Amino acid sequence: MMTEQGRVLSALLQGTFICQVTDEEAWRFLKNREKAQQLEPHLAMLNRTLSSTAEGDVFFASYLTIGEAERKMLTQQFQDTASNLVPLVEWLLLVQQANESDMPVTMGNAIRLNELQTTIEDTPAYAEQLEKISRYRMFGSTSVNLDGQLKQVFKRLTEMGYLTKPNPEKQIYLATGKVEHLYEMLRFIDETEALSLSEQADAAITQCSLL
């Protein structure tokens, strides 16, 4: 039998993101400052430390000191992330638009696959968009029908930890804290590269309305 502490520790060492949606018990454990502090020595032994994003609502393990090997590892990881950004952003926008509520996907949002599928099937523009998204290397769908593409995209996203399926019987997915992490990364890139993305979007919207 593993203690709660051991369970949380091993989850962190596996490189998973812990948030309220994926693992509420572990999340509560980490929210407790004292208990989280108890983990630090164990993590430090393996050159890791506890980090959080999304205003302290998502936890993960990061490297304590970064040497050659770690840097190589991180660079590889970063390149993966950077190349996955466009497909992920396109997918987020597709879900947001097809949801009809105009709400961006955030942690804890429920996505009902059947409803989403109906909306996408009824709107050729969305269907085209889905096809484009599913062809990205990250999702790697070769399916020609919409059903297969959608399932593949959701399967991959669940594998990568952006979504979780609380009930295996039902086609309802919940967005996890990793989605928040994605937004944070976008925001960071926006700020560091001085892209002023929001202004660009605003300008595009006003241009559209002028036309």
Partner 1 sequence: MSQALIQTGTRLLNALGKHSDLIMQAYIGGTVDEQNHSPKVLEQLVQLGVLWRPESQSELRLKSAVRTLLEGSLQDERNRTINANIGASLASLKTLAEHYKEALHYNKYNESAAHMSDLTEHVYQLSESLSNSVRVLFGRITNEFGYVSSVDAKIRENELAQGQVTDLLSQLECFRFDELSEIAGSNRELRHLLVVSLQQRFSKAAQELSVVQARLIDLLGRFREFQGRTRLLKGYLLHMEQHPDFAPGNYTNLTQVPILFNQSNSVISAAAPDVNNVEHENDYQEIVSSLTHIHQRKGKHDEADEPQDIDVTAQSTVSLEKDELQLAIEDFFCEVIDSGQPKTALTYYEEKALGFDREVWMYQVIGGYQALADQEKQFFALDPHGENDKTFTGNFYINDITLGLR
* Alpha helices in 99-161, H assignment, sequence order: 113-122, 124-134, 146-159
Residues numbered 39 to 58 that lie near partner 1 (CB under 8 A) are 46, 48, 51, 53
Instruction: Provide the minimum distance between the beta carbon of 208 and partner 1 in the complex, in angstroms, as a whole number.
Output: 11
Per CB under 8 A, the segment of 126-134, 143-151, 158-166, 194-202 that binds partner 1 is 194-202
Pairing outcome for strands 172-175 and 48-53? unpaired
Site string for partner 1, 154-183 (x = CB under 8 A): ---------------------------x-x
- DSSP helix/strand/coil, 19: coil
Instruction: Provide the minimum distance between the beta carbon of 186 and partner 1 in the complex, in angstroms, as a whole number.
Output: 5
Which residues have a Cβ under 8 Å from the Cβ of 151 and sit 6 or more positions away? 113
CA dist 36 and 39 (Å) reads 5
**Residue 204 to residues 30, 88, 93, 210, Cα–Cα distance (Å):** 42, 21, 16, 10
Q: Which residues bind partner 1 (CB under 8 A)?
A: 10, 13-15, 46, 48, 51, 53, 60-63, 66, 70-71, 73-75, 77-79, 81-82, 85-86, 89-90, 92-93, 96, 100-104, 106, 181, 183-190, 192-193, 195-202, 204
